[in-house]
A and B are shown apart, each in its own frame.
Chain A
């Protein structure tokens, strides 16, 4: 699988309260959640984002509340993958469980807003088309790959 899109760049410790503020958690509708995605730190995100785009963060992406609404909102907004230096652990498992691809990459400082990336999920390589650079990522352990291959957690335990 290959994903290609433009970058929306954020910093360290992006918490799930800013990804989807609690005042919008009175619904579980994916499109409605997506319409408020990132609103408290980047009100224009929902207008800029295009299908296939890629979100990039620093350390501890997705910290705070366990709300699965956060990866759901990001995915439903059209984002095809989130790349960060590290992920908070609940966000990490939620993203796997809802089928939002995430990649840990130490070199996110080299990626800038607006860069165009191409991600090869088979070998975990990220190609920065704008800058002509290639970055490597940590592949998922086999255990997790099996969950993904079976179509998510619930399908894997049926």
Chain B
């Protein structure tokens, strides 16, 4: 029986010729990731178990991004613990305030992940790097501790759902709309324990930023990982970074899939996920009149430069509606600088937006945009669970940067075309 892309990468890292779904394996890791929330728990477990050395100081990335710049004393203590651990073990890829970014935007930008690699991260959105043809998945802090100590993790080999993409997207439709459409179709546990493998001629119409956004949200369908077939777009992106040589794995022609879905990109409309699950999707034509109090554009899902570009295009020369707070958070230090150089920051400030240094802050209800009871927010983030961005009586609507920017202008959930 043939293997899927994910199965081939897992087999190669477990030193096996082949693997089959359901098989439990121990595999070698190319990179282990932690952040300021999950790393302290990992350090505690690492120390408690008596480990004194990390397996490879070049294969661990620690990114202080969730509650940074520190939101309170406890958050500061957690970062201090990570900083001291990184210094003690001379961790090469330690990113703190001033050089950091939201982890899943930062690692690809820095060239720390390439095609064919096996990556774990103590953050559920670690699945993002599947956009680059890597097998990457979220784990917990104890798995991170084990990874840092031994460079290994256990995996249950997943079966896969195959998404064959065709056609071309309409204007103002992005990877965010495609993945929300897919989650709406298969549900928040539609890919539970499974890989989501994206292929087909439609890939040519998806930029790396579109793919990073889509792979990022594989977890919102319950997926173990999301992974894109490697093509010229991937290789060009990786070549620009040129830190590690990619290894390209393609699925076998006779690979078996639990399900195959055909998705015509041309049929996808701007899509919004209503509270309180990412599967509660409606097209922009179905949303009706939903007044909003806040807009957040940023996060590991949609804080990249192309996201900033479309927000700037829509907000240029316009004003944020009265009574709406618009918060824009470029995801990395580099993207923040590019926003200044390309004039986007001026556009955002002139429109009446707040523009912040990189942080995960509001996405998980940490700080920098917490919602009060009864408030509604359109966010380009990835989760709209009860209380996710603040009060349990608040509501989060997930959308693309284009829809979020247009909604900031009108004060209600709006199609980009309404303001352009």
Contacts and interface: CB of A to CB of B under 8 A. Distances in A.
A154 interface: yes
Contacts of B50: 158
Contact of B192 (A27, A64, A89, A155): A89
Contacts of B192: 60, 86, 88-89
B152 to A, nearest CB: 7
B154 A66 contact: no
B44 A28 contact: yes
A27 B38 CA distance: 10
Contact of A66 (B40, B44, B140): B140
Contacts of B383: 15, 17, 64-65
A89 B192 CA distance: 7
Interface string B58-72: 000000001100011
A104 to B, nearest CB: 11
A153 interface: yes
B37 A67 contact: yes
A15 B276 CA distance: 11
B364 interface: yes
Contact of A18 (B37, B40, B51, B386): B386
A26 interface: yes
Interface in A44-65: 59-60, 63-65
B387 A66 contact: no
B124 interface: yes
A98 interface: yes
Interface string A78-95: 000000001011100110
B387 A21 contact: yes
Contact of B189 (A18, A63, A158): A63
B140 A93 contact: yes
Contact of B139 (A59, A90, A144, A154): A90
Contacts of B392: 40-41
B390 to A, nearest CB: 8
B75 interface: yes
B38 A68 contact: yes
A143 B149 CA distance: 20
B54 to A, nearest CB: 14
Contacts of A18: 385-387
Interface string B126-141: 1000000000001111
B interface bracket (residues with beta carbon within 8 Å of A): 35 or more
A86 B189 contact: yes
Contacts of A90: 124, 138-140, 219
B165 interface: no
Interface string A116-150: 00000000000000000000000001011001000
A152 B386 CA distance: 32
Given A17-B385, A26-B74, A98 B24 contact: no
Contact of B154 (A17, A22, A143): A143
Contacts of A66: 38, 121-124, 126, 138-140
Contacts of A17: 364-365, 383, 385-388
Contact of B140 (A68, A86, A141, A147): A68
B210 interface: no
B366 A23 contact: yes
A41 B385 CA distance: 11
A21 B192 CA distance: 23
A13 B189 contact: yes
A108 interface: no
Contact of A154 (B24, B37, B49, B66): B49
Interface string A91-106: 0011001100000000
B163 interface: no
B45 interface: yes
Contact of A59 (B66, B67, B189): B189
B142 A40 contact: no
A115 to B, nearest CB: 25
B222 interface: yes
A75 interface: no
A68 B38 CA distance: 8
Interface of A: 13, 15, 17-18, 21-23, 25-28, 40-41, 59-60, 63-69, 71-72, 86, 88-90, 93-94, 97-98, 141, 143-144, 147, 152-155, 157-158
24 contacts: A15-B383, A22-B365, A25-B67, A28-B40, A28-B78, A40-B386, A40-B392, A60-B222, A64-B124, A66-B38, A66-B124, A67-B37, A68-B140, A72-B41, A88-B222, A89-B193, A90-B138, A93-B139, A93-B143, A97-B140, A153-B154, A154-B48, A154-B142, A157-B152
Interface of B: 24, 37-38, 40-41, 44-46, 48-51, 66-67, 71-72, 74-75, 78, 121-124, 126, 138-143, 145-146, 149-150, 152, 154, 188-189, 192-193, 219, 222, 224, 277, 364-366, 383, 385-388, 392
Q: Which 7 pairs from chain A and chain B are nearest by CB? A: A26-B74, A94-B140, A97-B142, A68-B140, A154-B49, A60-B189, A22-B364
